[in-house]
Amino acid sequence: MDRVLRSVPDGYDWAIEARGLVKIFGDNRAVDGVNLNVRAGTIYGVLGPNGAGKTTTIKMLATLLRPDGGSARIFGHDVVKEAQIVRQLIGVTGQYASVDETLSATENLVIFSRLLGLGRKEARRKASELLEEFGLTEAAKRPLKHFSGGMRRRLDLAASLIAQPPLIFLDEPTTGLDPRTRAQMWDTIRRLVKTGSTVLLTTQYLDEADQLADRIAVIDRGRVIAEGTADELKASVGTSSLQLRVQNQGDIETARQMVERMLKVRAIVSPEAGKITAPIADADRVADLLITLREAGIRLAEMSVQKPTLDEVFLTITGHGVEDDAKKASHAPDGVEAM
Amino acid sequence: MNRSLSTSGSQLQLKNRMSLGQSVRQSLTMAYRGLLKIKRTPEQLFDVTFQPIIFTLMFTYIFGGAISGSVKGYLPIIIPGILVQTVITTSIVTGVQLREDMDKGVFDRFRSLPIARIAPLAGALLADTVRYTIATVLTLAMGYILGYRPDGGFDHVVIAAILVIVCSWAMSWIFAFFGVIARTASSVQGISMLILFPLTFVSNSFVPVKTMPDWLQWFVHVNPISHLVTAVRQLANHGTIGSDFAISLIGAAIIVAIFAPLTVRAYMRRT
C-alpha cells in the first residue's frame, strides 16, 4: 500500500516535506535548517528579503543543489536518492528566464518537449498549444533577444508546464515585471492551481504572498521564522483596528470619548481626515459602540476594520524589519537576489 | 485520496534511471539545439573558417623551403600536420562555449529536467563535429589549391578526415572537462592552450623529428598527436592503414573513457 502511494503522486497528501535543510557556501550558512510542509494542491509562499535563502532552498528542493544537511521529499521521493524521479514531478521557473536566448520561442519549447520524450509532431503541437495559452503566438518565431521581460517570464513558465508536472517551483515569478504583467502572472498562477498543480513560489513582495498563497513561510537569514496562513501571521502580530470617519467634524471629540469608553482602549484621532482609529480588543463591544453612536445621533461616513499588514508582520517577527536593501529592492523591482 | 493532482501525474511511469536509448535520443536533441545555435550565430564559425586558410598558407610558405627545399615537396608533410593541428585546436572552443553556455539560465532548466545527465554535454560536443568538418574540408581544400595531390586517393583522404574528426571529438571531452570545472570561459581557453601548444608543436606535425634533441624525440614518439599525424600521412599519401591508425583510435577511446565520466560527474556536482 505504502509503495503504491509513493510511486504515484495522486493521493499523496504532501507535495513537499523538508526537514532541517542546510546549505553552506564557504562560511555563509545560506540555508540554516529549513523545515517546510506543503500540502498538495495549494499555493505556498516563501517570503523573505534578498539573500534570505529562498532561491537556495528552491534549488535544493528542485535537485539543482545538493543539501549539506537535512532531507527533503517531493511527493514522498527523496530529492537526493531519487533525484531523477523528483525531476519527473516538478517544473522549475527561475528568477532569471531559463530559456535559450539565441533560439525562438517555438524552438525552445520544441527542444524541451523533445527532451521530455514527446515525438516530433507532438512536440510541435504542444509548443503551439502553450504559446497560444500564454499569448505568445505572434512572437513565436522571433528570437528571444527581442522579447520583453514579461514575455520571457511567460515563455519560461510555459516551458515548465510542458510535462504538466504536479509541483511547480516559481522563484520570484514577478520580480521586475510591470504591474499589469504582474497581475496577468498572478492569474496564470491561480489557474495552475485550479487544474490541480501545487505551486511553491518565493517572493519578496509582501502583498504577492498575501494575494496568492494559502500558506506562507517567512524566511530570514536561512531560517523559517514564522509559518501559517496570511491571516494567522497577521493575527500573530496583534489585533485588528477599527477605523471610523464621522460625517460632521464637530462630532469627532464626542465620538472619540464614546469609543474610549465603550471599547476601553485609547483611540487616536487624525483631525484632517476626520478619522478615529482604535485597536479592537473585544469584537463584541464594537456592536455596542455602533448602537451608542447611533443613539447619540453621530452619523458615520465610513467604518472599516483594518487587519495588520504583512509588512508589520515582518517587522514584528524579525525584529529588524525588512532589511534596507530588500526595502530598496521592493521599490525598485529589478532587484536580483544575490545567491 | 481521490484528488487528481495533474492530468499526467497518474500516467507517469516514475523511474530513477534513464535507458541507453533515451540517453542517445536526448543527446541528439541537444545536438539539434547546438546546430540551431550555430545557424543563428554564424559568427561562431569565424575561427574554423579563417584559421585553416591562414595557417595552411603561413606554415607552407614559411617552412616549405627550409624543411623540404620546396613548397611542393613540403605539402605531403605539412597538410596532414596542419590538418591535425587546426582541427584539434578548434576543439578547444567546445570547452569555452560550454562554459559560457552553462553560465546561462537555460542550463538550470536542463539540470532540472528528467533527462540523462550526459545529454547536454554529449549534445554540445556532437554539434561541434560540424565545426571540425568545416575546418577539415577547408584545410584539405587549401592544400589542393596550393598543389597538394595526395597519392592515397580521394577515398583514403576521406577516411583520414573522418579519423581526424573522431579524434578531435574525443579530445574535446578534455576541454569540455575544463569547461565544466573552470570558473570563467577565458580560463578554459588559457588552460587548454597551455596543454595543446606543446602537444601539437612537439610532434612530427611540422618538422622532421630527427632534427630534435634526443629527450624531445622521446616525447614526440609517445605524443598521441604524432601517431595521429602519421596515420593521416599514411592514409593520404600512401593509401595504407598502419598501426598508428589503431593507436590513434585506441587513444581516442581511452580519452573518452576517462574524460566523459569525469566531465559528467563534475557537471553533476557543479552548483
Q: What is the CATH number of domain A239-306?
A: 3.30.70.100
Angle between helices B243-269 and B119-127 (to 10 degrees): 140
Give yes or no for residue A194 having a pLDDT over 70: yes
pLDDT at A178: 83
Residues of chain A with Cβ-Cβ distance to B123 below 8 Å are none
User: How much of chain A exceeds pLDDT 90, in percent?
Assistant: 32
pLDDT at A240: 78
Give yes or no for residue B13 having a pLDDT over 70: no
pLDDT at A199: 94
DSSP label at residue A298: P
Domain A2-102+143-235 and domain A239-306 have a common topology: no
**Protein fold of A2-102+143-235:** Rossmann fold (3.40.50)
Give the closest of B36, B105, B113 to A116, CB-based. Answer: B113
CB contact under 8 A, A164 and B9: yes
A285-297: pLDDT as tens digits = 888 889 998 998 8
- List the single residue in B with minimal CA-CA distance to A62: B112
Chain B closest CA to A7's CA: distance in Å?
Answer: 7
Chain B closest CA to A9's CA: distance in Å?
Answer: 6
What is the residue-averaged pLDDT of chain B?
88
Give yes or no for residue A3 having a pLDDT over 70: no
ipTM of this model? 0.81
What's the distance, Cα to Cα, between the start and end of chain A in Å?
A: 41
Give the closest of B2, B36, B108 to A98, CB-based. Answer: B108
> In sequence order, which residues have a C-beta less than 8 Å from that of residue B90 and are 6 or more positions away?
B47, B48, B51, B131, B132, B135, B168
Chain A closest CA to B121's CA: distance in Å?
Answer: 14
Give yes or no for residue A9 having a pLDDT over 60: no
Average pLDDT, integer, range B3-31: 70
pLDDT at B217: 92
CB contact under 8 A, A103 and B40: yes
Average pLDDT, integer, range B45-55: 89
Q: Where are the domains of chain A?
A: 2-102+143-235, 239-306
Give the closest of B3, B7, B29 to A41, CB-based. Answer: B3
**Which helix H or strand E contains A303, and what residues bound it?**
strand A300-306
Q: Which is it for strands A167-171 and A90-93: parallel, antiparallel or unpaired? A: parallel
B61-100: pLDDT as tens digits = 998 888 888 888 899 999 999 999 999 998 888 888 888 8
| Chain A with chain B: Cβ pairs closer than 8 A | 128
Length of chain B: 271
User: How much of chain A exceeds pLDDT 70, in percent?
Assistant: 88
Give yes or no for residue A327 having a pLDDT over 50: no
pLDDT at B8: 39
Taking the C-alpha atoms of residue B165 and residue B162, their distance in angstroms, rounded to an integer, is 5
CB contact under 8 A, B29 and A83: no
pLDDT band at A238 (very low <50, low <70, confident <90, very high): low
Tell me the Ramachandran region of residue B261: left when phi exceeds 0, alpha when psi lies from -120 to 50, beta otherwise.
Answer: alpha
Average pLDDT, integer, range A248-275: 83
pLDDT at A87: 92
pLDDT at A323: 45
Q: Please choose, from the candidates B102, B114, B101, B96, the residue with its C-alpha nearest in 3D space to the C-alpha of residue B26.
A: B114
pLDDT at A310: 66
